[in-house]
């Protein structure tokens, strides 16, 4: 099968109000101006099976099961994934052959379709030899049997659930994580759950093949932000590319005036420019943006986390201060960027981006106890695809707590369901997925060149902060669109990391 490329997209729903139509139009324009960077497509392995001892006893059974297997294959091939279907197995020896083919396919998720009873010896080698997470599905032909007219052979087409506990037991004894979906062949609920596991496989694919750029140095004193790069690579399979600001400096120096002017024209199509924007700072941000694109391409970056303090207006300080425009444009193209050297948050943004949920760099800004909302956002790069309105470029003479000056992005995440999602790290180094679902609501916002949203988590905002802080989350995370906790939980299960929800 020819490999495909998958491009990340921010979440979109069918518009049903004038505001939704405007948002859809903005998103379409953004995609036209900033095409998403292609990413390795998710690979799904598929195998169906049943107990071969039945075939000579019930000649009509196997054709029926193969028909169900063909339907399942068609459903998977309609998803945004590359499917390797190794066919139908009837005994443990055929399972070993299938396991080897699936191992070679380097899948992100293997789906085993139990069409009828089979022995666990036919499933175990597939999980063991591939080293890939396995999803067991059992989908009987219809909602229920026709008891008055069924014989044993017809009943056997409905007993795919029978071996599920057997497989679960053997997986537990073998130390293999077990997950399953039981239902019927055209069951919308079952397919919703299956597709959730496929979405989780997209996260696994994104993380396993990610190249996380880490440029500059830690913001002094932010101990929570400090991340063990080896631990991240060991647990997620990602590569961390350590970069110097000099890697950016030489690329920015090569940007021509014409290229910088073209980037300014692109920015004018995407942003509303506030009167506070200084022409010289805007031009510098555009020049840095072109250099950032080249940096990302040259190093094959999937994400970027950065910070450099600098001093006295020297070149590196100016580079660090000029990052926001270009980093926001990179994020909109599917290469999430985060300031303050926040590697775990740029990884969290990649997770939410791979689910089509956007994910903008965020921290707590203030609490509004009258309206019962948490105000959250950040200066620095923003995910333009999740903005509630045309994003604003504002000129700042001071970046709070940082060196330099320049232009910054200001917007509110589109109103509706959102999920705060971040990656914490425990005492033993274990990374954990942390999520909390809420709603972004309208209301007064600061106009200081920050992304700011008012999030209602359905409880006293002070109590929410206490519960959220107790999970081990750092003080940055991604604010993603939609209620995604179940998706993040499934992804954590595939990645073998803890999941915590507030």
Domain ranges of the chain: 40-206, 210-501
% the chain with pLDDT above 90: 69
Neighbours of 18 (CB within 10 A): 8
Rounded to whole angstroms, how far apart are CA atoms 301 and 210?
A: 8
Give residue 189's pLDDT. Answer: 96
Rounded to whole angstroms, how far apart are CA atoms 418 and 411?
A: 15
**pLDDT confidence band for 309 (50 / 70 / 90):** confident
| Model confidence, pTM | 0.89
Rounded to whole angstroms, how far apart are CA atoms 347 and 207?
A: 8
Give residue 377's pLDDT. Answer: 84
- Strand, coil or helix: 338: strand
**Res 12 pLDDT > 80:** no
Q: By C-alpha distance, which of 281, 286, 256 is closest to 268?
A: 286
324-375 pLDDT, tens per residue?
A: 899 999 999 999 999 889 999 999 999 999 998 988 888 998 999 999 999 9
Rounded to whole angstroms, how far apart are CA atoms 419 and 434?
A: 10
CATH code of 40-206, in short, is: 3.40.50.10940
Helix, strand, coil percentages in the chain from 3-state DSSP, rounded to 5: 40, 25, 35
**Res 212 pLDDT > 60:** yes
Give residue 11's pLDDT. Answer: 46
Give residue 391's pLDDT. Answer: 84
- Per the prediction, the chain carries an average pLDDT of 89
- Residue 104 tokens read as 């070679």
**Res 401 pLDDT > 60:** no
**pLDDT confidence band for 403 (50 / 70 / 90):** low
Which has more pLDDT, 318 or 492?
492
Residues with Cβ within 8 Å of 132's Cβ and at least 6 positions away in sequence, in order, are: 45, 102, 103, 107, 108, 109, 110
Burial readout 111-141 (b: 16 or more C-beta within 10 A, e: otherwise)? bbbbbbbbbbebbbbbbeebebbbbbbbbbb
Residues 361 and 209 sit within 8 Å (Cβ to Cβ): no
Q: What is the dihedral of CA 54, 58, 60, 62, to 10 degrees?
A: 0
**Res 28 pLDDT > 90:** no
**pLDDT confidence band for 449 (50 / 70 / 90):** low
Rounded to whole angstroms, how far apart are CA atoms 39 and 204?
A: 13
Q: Is 345 exposed, middle or buried (0-12, 13-18, 19+ CB in 10 A)?
A: buried
Residues 320 and 307 sit within 8 Å (Cβ to Cβ): yes
Give residue 33's pLDDT. Answer: 82
**Four-residue CA torsion sign, 124, 129, 131, 133:** negative
**Res 483 pLDDT > 80:** yes
Q: By C-alpha distance, which of 374, 324, 372, 383 is closest to 350?
A: 383
Q: By C-alpha distance, which of 495, 502, 494, 342 is closest to 421?
A: 502
Give residue 7's pLDDT. Answer: 45
**Res 10 pLDDT > 60:** no
Rounded to whole angstroms, how far apart are CA atoms 318 and 80?
A: 42
**pLDDT confidence band for 64 (50 / 70 / 90):** very high
Q: Is 57 exposed, middle or buried (0-12, 13-18, 19+ CB in 10 A)?
A: exposed
Give residue 245's pLDDT. Answer: 93
**Res 444 pLDDT > 90:** no
210-501 shares the fold of 40-206: no
- Residue 103 tokens read as 């191992």
**Res 243 pLDDT > 50:** yes
Across 61-86, average pLDDT: 94
266-302 pLDDT, tens per residue?
A: 999 988 888 888 899 999 999 999 999 999 999 999 9
**Res 187 pLDDT > 50:** yes
**Res 4 pLDDT > 50:** no
Give residue 80's pLDDT. Answer: 87
Domain 210-501 CATH class label: alpha beta
- Residue 29 tokens read as 């324009």
Give residue 13's pLDDT. Answer: 43
**Res 482 pLDDT > 70:** yes
**pLDDT confidence band for 16 (50 / 70 / 90):** low
Nearest-10 crossing angle of helices 485-495, 188-208: 60
Give residue 20's pLDDT. Answer: 61
Q: By C-alpha distance, which of 41, 36, 38 is closest to 3?
A: 41
């Amino acid at each position: 099968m020819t490999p495909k490329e998958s491009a990340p997209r921010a979440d979109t729903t069918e518009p049903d109000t004038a505001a939704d139509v405007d948002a859809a139009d903005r998103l379409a324009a953004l995609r036209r101006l900033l095409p998403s960077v292609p990413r390795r497509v998710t690979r799904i392995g598929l195998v169906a099976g049943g107990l071969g001892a039945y075939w000579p006893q019930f000649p009509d059974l196997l054709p029926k099961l193969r028909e169900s297997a063909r339907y399942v294959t068609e459903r998977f091939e309609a998803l945004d994934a590359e499917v390797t279907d190794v066919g139908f197995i009837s005994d443990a020896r055929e399972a070993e052959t299938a396991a080897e083919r699936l191992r070679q396919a380097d899948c992100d998720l293997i789906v085993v379709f139990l069409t009828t009873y089979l022995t666990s010896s036919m499933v175990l080698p597939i999980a063991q030899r591939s080293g890939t997470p396995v999803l067991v599905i059992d989908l009987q032909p219809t909602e229920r049997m026709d008891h008055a007219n069924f014989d044993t052979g017809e009943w056997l087409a409905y007993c795919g659930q029978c071996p599920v506990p057997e497989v679960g037991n053997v997986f537990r004894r073998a130390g293999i994580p077990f997950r399953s979906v039981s239902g019927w062949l055209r069951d919308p609920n079952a397919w919703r759950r299956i597709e959730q596991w496929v979405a989780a496989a997209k996260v696994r694919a994104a993380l396993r093949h990610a190249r996380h750029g880490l440029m500059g140095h830690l913001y002094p004193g932010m101990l929570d932000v400090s991340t063990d790069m080896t631990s991240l690579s060991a647990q997620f399979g990602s590569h961390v590319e350590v970069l110097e600001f000099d890697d950016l400096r030489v690329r920015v120096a090569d940007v021509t005036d014409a290229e910088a002017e073209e980037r300014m024209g692109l920015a004018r199509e995407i942003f509303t420019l506030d009167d506070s924007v200084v022409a010289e700072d805007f031009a510098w941000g555009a020049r840095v943006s072109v250099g950032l694109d080249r940096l990302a391409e040259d190093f094959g970056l999937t994400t970027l986390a950065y910070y450099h303090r600098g001093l006295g207006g020297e070149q590196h300080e100016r580079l660090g201060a000029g990052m926001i425009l270009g980093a926001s444009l990179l994020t909109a193209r599917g290469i999430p960027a985060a300031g303050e050297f926040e590697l775990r948050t740029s990884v969290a943004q990649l997770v939410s981006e791979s689910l089509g949920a956007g994910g903008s760099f965020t921290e707590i800004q203030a609490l509004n106890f009258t309206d019962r909302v948490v105000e959250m956002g950040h200066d620095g790069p923003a995910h333009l695809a999740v903005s509630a309105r045309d994003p604003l470029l504002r000129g700042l003479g001071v970046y709070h707590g940082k060196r330099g000056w320049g232009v910054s992005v200001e917007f509110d995440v589109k109103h509706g369901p959102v999920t705060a999602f971040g990656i914490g790290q425990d005492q033993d180094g274990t990374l954990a997925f942390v999520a909390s679902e809420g709603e972004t609501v309208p209301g007064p916002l600061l106009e200081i060149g920050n992304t700011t949203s008012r999030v209602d988590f359905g409880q006293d905002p002070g109590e929410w902060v206490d519960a959220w802080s107790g999970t081990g989350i750092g003080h940055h995370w991604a604010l993603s669109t939609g209620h995604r906790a179940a998706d993040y939980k499934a992804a954590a299960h595939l990645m073998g990391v803890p999941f915590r929800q507030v």
